Amino acid sequence: MEGQQHPVGLYLKVWGLLFVLSALSYLVDLLHVEGLLRWTLILALMMAKAALIVAVFMHLRWERLALVCVVVIPPAALLVLAGMMATESDYIFSLRSLYPR
């Protein structure tokens, strides 16, 4: 079978990095980090792991920019829209708390 072969060392490095990121994620819980910092760290580590998996194991790192944009931009847009909805819902909740019916 012809095709591009990637060195096994690359996959081992990525697995090692995924292990380190997972250990850091576990440490966030083990060290009892609370509040906004906890969720920021958990989400940042989760997105870093997802990016590594998509880039290396799904071979997106070696694809054309157009394909990368097709795969990456829609979830990024959904994240932005979900963030906007969360901000709006917090605003509406605070208004309803301030001015009850």
Residue 35 has what pLDDT? 93
Query: Residue 64: pLDDT band by 50, 70, 90 thresholds?
Result: confident
The model's pTM is 0.67
Cα–Cα distance, 76 to 38 (Å, whole number): 22
Residue 92, pLDDT above cutoff 70: yes
Q: What share of the chain is helix, strand, coil (3-state, %, to 5)?
A: 80, 0, 20
What are 3-36's pLDDT values in tens digits? 667 788 888 999 999 999 999 999 999 999 999 9
Where in the chain are the domains? 8-98
Query: Residue 2: pLDDT band by 50, 70, 90 thresholds?
Result: low
